[in-house]
């Protein structure tokens, strides 16, 4: 699919589907739109009246226009109240329109949406992202593709001439999101620590990143007892992935992104029971998927920032070699952990990944993890938890998230709750009481970051969606990639 910036006026555009965005309670046609309506024999006005279209955010209607018309279908999308329009509103409107156009078998699409905040660049990028993300289809595991038939081939962004670079950026970010979605959607018999490492190799060779894969023996030498404790029961070798993007010249900043990479989480000997969602636990590498998705996007966007992408990848399985509940593990910073629950495995793998990362001497670290069911209980399926002892970094993440349309809510790192992790025999236990479970998980991770500004994103809810939602189809969302990319590209 080709998304193009065009200077073709609205009145002269010809093609299969013309998308027009209208604000709420401002659907009377004036100016260019009135002229277009006349040209189309009043069909826009008729559509608005007949469908009682009010321009409500998320609403859409369409109609076929006369056979000899230069435009075959008109698609109207509601934008809500003008003062409430956010950049993400345009991304969603573009997504709604693109989905509808695809259902209507439109091959050529023209999109006319208002420019947000006098910023044609951000507008063009957001629309490109919305169209791409909405039209994504994953047929890898189907013997027959479900979306045979005409596809959207060209999309013209009207009124956005000269915004080619912004569209390219949108496409590159979407490619990162697609990779994250594919990785999360792939089942555990297809996506393993080995294939995950191969994917990282591929990103490195496609986009010129440096790569280092630490094998089990390398991790042993570094004393990564927490990560290796989790990996012990698996028949598959663990892989510790470290990708590095280095810009030409001196980088403005050095950053690191760390993702939880459990290609499957059975719970270990504290095995997940019936009703626990064990059959969905292929998604437990959603943090690593966002990390690699961001690496793919950053490798193409080429900012003046050095970025390290890290994941300790393994499965959490059961076998005669499995760690026992009650085992004491020693992490690579020397701290000892009493494993009172083998299902709290993500924090064990992240502990060694964070220690490794801090030694790189970066300016800031963000980790992403499908870490706790407790976070889903607290914030629901659409909102990720944001934890950070560093207010400035937390603000940076919130700002990056705002432009991306991904939702985060900051939760407190209440030090007092660390008491719940006190162990009588080791430095700490890996789980505390059920209340505040996502907070104690964050406090556990904090034990493995000494002084580098650090934020932890608990993405257990938003990595996956059951129902179609905005630019996400049902299934893997690729959550996190867009916020990470915005964070890396931001000046602060």
How many residues at the interface with Zn ion, by CB under 5 A? 4
Pick the stretch among 2-10, 158-166, 280-288, 385-393 that binds Zn ion (CB under 5 A): 280-288
Q: Which is nearer to ligand BES, 365 or 376 (CB)?
A: 376
Smallest distance from Mn ion to CB 334, Å: 25
Give the footprint of Zn ion on residues 302-361 (CB under 5 A).
Answer: 346
Give the footprint of ligand BES on residues 262-321 (CB under 6 A).
Answer: 265, 277, 284
Per-residue binding letters, 175-214, with ligand BES (x by CB under 6 A): ----------------------------------------
Instruction: Report the C-alpha gap between 71 and 112 in whole angstroms.
Output: 13
Smallest distance from Zn ion to CB 351, Å: 14
Q: What is the DSSP letter of 241?
A: E
Pick the stretch among 41-49, 50-58, 170-178, 279-287 that binds Zn ion (CB under 5 A): 279-287
347 is an active site residue: yes
Smallest distance from Zn ion to CB 177, Å: 22
Q: Is the dihedral of CA 117, 118, 122, 128 positive or negative?
A: positive
How many residues at the interface with ligand BES, by CB under 6 A? 17
Residues 6+ apart with CB under 8 A from 277: none
Query: Nearest-CA neighbor of 264 among 322, 315, 201?
Result: 315
The CA–CA distances, whole Å, from 211 to 180, 220, 371 equal: 18, 19, 26
Give the footprint of Mn ion on residues 335-394 (CB under 5 A).
Answer: 343, 345
> Residue 373 binds which entry of Zn ion, Mn ion, ligand BES, none, with Cβ cut-offs from 5 to 8 Å by kind?
ligand BES
Residue 341 in the binding site for ligand BES (CB under 6 A): yes
Pick the stretch among 137-145, 176-184, 257-265, 447-455 that binds Mn ion (CB under 5 A): 257-265
Instruction: Report the C-alpha gap between 398 and 484 in whole angstroms.
Output: 11
416 is an active site residue: no
Q: Which is nearer to ligand BES, 152 or 262 (CB)?
A: 262
Angle at 353 between CA 348 and CA 355, to 5 degrees: 100
Question: CB–CB of 94/111 below 8 Å?
Answer: yes
Q: Which is nearer to Mn ion, 265 or 315 (CB)?
A: 265
Question: CB–CB of 465/477 below 8 Å?
Answer: yes
Smallest distance from Mn ion to CB 316, Å: 6
Instruction: Report the C-alpha gap between 345 and 338 in whole angstroms.
Output: 12
Q: Which is nearer to Zn ion, 129 or 265 (CB)?
A: 265
Give the footprint of Zn ion on residues 238-267 (CB under 5 A).
Answer: 262, 265
Q: Which of 37, 306, 338, 345 binds ligand BES (CB under 6 A)?
A: 345
User: 3-state secondary structure string, 271-313?
Assistant: CCCCCCCHHHHHHHHHHHHHHHHHHHHHHHHCCCEEEEEEEEE
User: Exactly one of 92, 347, 407, 482 is catalytic; which is it?
Assistant: 347
Structure tokens at 85: 């329009």
Residue 216 in the binding site for ligand BES (CB under 6 A): no
Q: Which of 344, 393, 397, 457 binds ligand BES (CB under 6 A)?
A: 344
Residue 478: CB atoms within 10 A of its CB come to: 30
User: 3-state secondary structure string, 392-404?
Assistant: HHHHHHHHHHHHH
Smallest distance from ligand BES to CB 149, Å: 35
The CA–CA distances, whole Å, from 342 to 127, 346, 373, 432 equal: 44, 10, 15, 13
Instruction: Report the C-alpha gap between 214 and 191 in whole angstroms.
Output: 18
> Residue 460 binds which entry of Zn ion, ligand BES, Mn ion, none, with Cβ cut-offs from 5 to 8 Å by kind?
ligand BES
Structure tokens at 336: 């000892």
Pick the stretch among 108-116, 262-270, 348-356, 451-459 that binds Mn ion (CB under 5 A): 262-270
Interacting residues toward Mn ion by CB under 5 A: 265, 343, 345
Active site residues: 272, 347
């Amino acid at each position: 699919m080709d998304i193009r910036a065009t200077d073709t006026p609205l009145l002269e555009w010809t093609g299969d589907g013309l998308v027009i965005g209208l604000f709420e309670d401002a659907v009377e046609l004036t100016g260019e739109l009135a002229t277009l309506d006349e040209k189309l024999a009043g069909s826009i006005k008729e559509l608005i009246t007949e469908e009682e279209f009010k321009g409500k955010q998320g609403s859409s209607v369409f109609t076929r226009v006369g056979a000899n018309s230069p435009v075959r279908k008109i698609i109207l999308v509601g934008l809500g109240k003008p003062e409430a329009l956010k950049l993400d509103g345009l991304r969603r409107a573009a997504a709604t329109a693109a989905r509808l156009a695809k259902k209507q078998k439109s091959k050529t699409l023209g999109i006319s949406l208002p420019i947000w905040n006098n910023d044609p660049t951000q507008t063009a990028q957001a629309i490109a992202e919305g169209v791409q993300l909405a039209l994504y289809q994953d047929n890898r595991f189907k013997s027959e593709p479900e979306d045979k038939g005409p596809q959207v081939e060209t999309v013209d962004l009207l009124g956005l001439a000269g915004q080619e670079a912004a569209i390219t950026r949108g496409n590159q970010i979407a490619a990162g999101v697609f990779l994250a979605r594919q990785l999360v959607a792939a089942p555990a018999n297809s996506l393993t620590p080995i294939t995950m490492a191969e994917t990282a190799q591929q990103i490195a060779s496609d986009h010129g990143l440096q790569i280092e894969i630490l094998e089990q023996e390398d991790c042993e030498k570094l004393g990564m007892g927490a990560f290796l404790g989790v990996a012990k029961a698996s028949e598959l070798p663990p892989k510790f992935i470290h990708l590095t993007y280095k810009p030409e010249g001196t980088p403005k900043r050095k950053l690191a992104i760390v993702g939880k990479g459990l290609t499957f989480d059975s719970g270990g000997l504290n095995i997940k029971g019936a009703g626990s969602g064990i059959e969905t636990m292929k998604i437990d590498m959603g943090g690593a998927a966002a990390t690699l998705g961001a690496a793919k996007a950053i490798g193409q966007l080429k900012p003046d920032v050095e970025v390290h992408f890290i994941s300790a990848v393994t499965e959490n399985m059961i076998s005669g070699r499995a760690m026992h509940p009650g085992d004491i593990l020693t992490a690579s910073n020397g701290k000892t952990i009493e494993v009172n629950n083998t299902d709290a495995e993500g924090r064990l793998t992240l502990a060694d990944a964070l220690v490794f990362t801090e030694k790189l001497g970066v300016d800031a670290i963000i980790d992403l993890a499908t870490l706790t069911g407790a976070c889903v209980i607290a914030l629901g399926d659409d909102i990720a938890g944001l934890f950070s002892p560093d207010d400035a970094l937390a603000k940076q993440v919130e700002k990056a998230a705002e432009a991306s349309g991904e939702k985060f809510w900051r939760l407190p790192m209440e030090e007092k709750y660390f008491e719940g992790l006190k162990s009588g025999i080791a430095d700490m236990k890996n789980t505390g009481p059920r209340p505040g479970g996502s907070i104690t998980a964050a406090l556990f991770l904090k034990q493995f970051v000494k002084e580098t500004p650090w934020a932890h994103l608990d993405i257990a809810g938003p990595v996956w969606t059951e129902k179609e939602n905005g630019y996400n189809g049902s299934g893997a969302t690729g959550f996190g990639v867009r916020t990470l990319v915005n964070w890396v590209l931001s000046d602060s």
